[in-house]
Amino acid sequence: MTQDTFELCLKAIAQTDVPTVDITGGAPELNPHFRWFVEEVRALGRHVIDRCNLTILLVPSQADLADFLATHHVEIVASLPSFTATQTDAQRGEGVMDASVEALRLLNARGYGQPDSPLILNLVYNPNGAYLPASQESLEVRFKREMQRRYGVVFNNLFTITNIPIGRFLEFLVDTGNLQGYMKRLISAFNPAAARHVMCRNMLSIGWDGTMFDCDFNQMLDIQCNHGAPNHIRDFDITRLRHRRIVTGPHCYGCTAGAGSSCGGATA
Ligand code: SF4
């Protein structure tokens, strides 16, 4: 994202009462405007979330990143497939678990995830296959116990996310002949309470070039805001966006199955 696009985002944020700005990307911290943007959003009095891949905290050029995030009270959300090295490394690559634990310890040492600290550290789990995640509450208890026992690491919340049938996961479903079965599972687990809380109802995703989407999943599919709503941050208009009709598709069953799923985990 260029500085011009970041500035358009700031202008849009300033016009609204949007409480939270959630920054994501492969490693958003590497964007040269990242720190300036965080400071500007905080100056507007809004909460900032950094979707952090953890290993970025160990890159020598980012040695002061953890301190920067702590100083600005940036909430950290980091994906961790498992509390075991075998599963995490199998999914993410050799050595990722060790690096993640080192980064988590570094964050804990700065107060992240500690009881009574304002510095929030959340982890995200999604199943490694064509099934729905177990209950968020029970998995969180297990993750907390095991992360503390094995590594001495603490964190605030575990978010469980249902795998949405798009991208590489869709390819996996097709390749393994699981697509039909998985879609049936999602559809039969449809939960009206989860549908009421889908994240597209209270968020917008802004792409690197300023294109607007109803959610991250639509962004991955390049399905832009439509039905007459503006689809670029330069045309931001809160009234039209607030009343926009959301663009949906079969992948939406991933958000409405069971306890629901969003960037913030189970929703119902
Ligand atoms: S995938 Fe569909 S239901 Fe889920 S957040 Fe996006 S638009 Fe909404």
* pLDDT one-digit tens code per residue, 49-63: 999 999 999 999 999
Nearest CA to ligand 1 atom 8: 200
Q: How far is the CA of 31 from the centre of ligand 1 (A)?
A: 27
Contact 191, 260 (CB under 8 A): yes
Q: pLDDT at position 173, please?
A: 95
Tell me if the pTM is above 0.85: yes
Contact 48, 72 (CB under 8 A): yes
pLDDT, one tens digit for every residue, the chain (268 residues): 999 999 999 999 999 999 999 999 889 999 999 999 999 999 999 999 999 999 999 999 999 999 999 999 999 999 999 999 999 998 889 999 999 999 999 999 999 999 999 999 999 998 878 888 888 899 999 999 999 999 999 999 999 988 899 999 999 999 999 999 999 999 999 999 999 999 999 999 999 999 999 999 999 999 999 999 999 999 999 999 999 999 999 999 999 998 776 666 666 6
Q: How far is the CA of 214 from the centre of ligand 1 (A)?
A: 7
The distance of Cα 76 from the centroid of its chain, to the nearest Å, equals 10
In this structure, the dihedral spanned by the alpha carbons of residues 86, 88, 90 and 95, taken in order and rounded to 10 degrees, is -80
Q: pLDDT at position 24, please?
A: 95
Q: Give the SS3 label for residue 224.
A: strand
Beta-bridge partner residues of 22: 49
Nearest CA to ligand 1 atom 7: 248
* Ligand 1 site residues, Cβ closer than 6 angstroms: 198-200, 214-215, 217-218, 246, 248, 251-252, 255
Cα–Cα–Cα angle for 115, 120, 126, rounded to 5 degrees: 110
Strands 75-79 and 205-206: unpaired
Phi-psi region of 152 (alpha: psi -120 to 50; beta: other; left: phi over 0): left
